[in-house]
């Protein structure tokens, strides 16, 4: 990849839905935090190229930031397979050993018909390789940002899962000729 890439990673706005749910790709964003959206918009460079996962909540957030993002499937949230659309407390109560097993090793455990966080890291690595030089705003998911940090810092997937990534937070990383640089993580900008 020629040139340096400056990445503004923004977690989408909170989901307008039931808390504790593993939301599907069509879950809408709650765009009511106008002050934070305006502050984030001001932090983005004028020449920024927008990217988002194909999820409704990321696209809606990107548009609220004034971006018309290119959709990149590799930037999607971890696929929780058969658990998508269900609440964690319900799964814990009725999911049996399969649910417990995944959370004993959350970096490598796979929900039924889903993917592990390690699988997501590999997918995000491919997506990042497709982002060209210059300034890019990626409106994505908490898992996607953790995966990018895993790559940038050469962490194990287990270590990368320790990062907190709040809704509408900003994480800045750069891909330089000499390697990755982390500027900030989970920055609140309101």
Going along the chain from its start, the domains and CATH numbers come out as 5-187 (3.40.50.1240)
Distance, C-alpha 64 to centroid of its chain: 17
All residues at 6 or more sequence positions from 165 whose CB lies less than 8 Å from its CB, including other chains: 11, 142, 145, 146, 171, 185, 186
Between the CA atoms of 30, 190, 51 and 119, what dihedral angle is there, to the nearest 10 degrees?
A: -80
Q: What is the DSSP letter of 66?
A: T
- The answer to whether the CB of 112 falls within 8 A of the CB of 96 is no
What tens digit of pLDDT does each residue of 117-151 get? 999 999 999 999 999 999 999 999 999 999 999 99
pLDDT in tens, 8-55: 999 999 999 999 999 999 999 999 999 999 999 999 999 999 999 999
pTM over 0.85: yes
Q: Is the pLDDT of residue 1 over 60?
A: no
C-alpha 183/C-alpha 147 separation (Å) is 16
């Amino acid at each position: 990849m020629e040139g340096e890439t400056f990445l503004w990673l923004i977690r989408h706005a909170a989901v307008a839905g039931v808390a504790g749910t593993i939301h599907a790709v069509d879950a809408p964003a709650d765009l009511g935090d106008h002050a934070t959206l305006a502050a984030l918009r001001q932090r983005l460079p004028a020449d920024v190229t927008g990217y988002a996962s194909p999820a409704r909540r990321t696209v809606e957030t990107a548009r609220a930031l004034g971006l018309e993002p290119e959709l990149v499937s590799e930037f999607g949230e971890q696929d929780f397979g058969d658990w998508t659309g269900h609440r964690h407390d319900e799964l814990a109560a009725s999911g049996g050993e399969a649910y417990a097993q995944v959370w004993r090793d959350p970096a490598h455990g796979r929900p039924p018909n889903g993917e592990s966080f390690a699988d997501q890291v590999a997918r995000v690595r491919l997506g990042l390789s497709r982002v060209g030089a210059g300034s890019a705003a990626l409106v994505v998911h908490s898992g996607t940002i953790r995966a990018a940090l895993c790559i940038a810092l050469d962490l194990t997937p287990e270590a990368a899962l320790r990062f907190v990534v709040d809704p509408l937070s900003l994480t800045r990383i750069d891909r330089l000729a000499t390697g990755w640089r982390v500027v900030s993580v989970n920055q609140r900008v309101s």
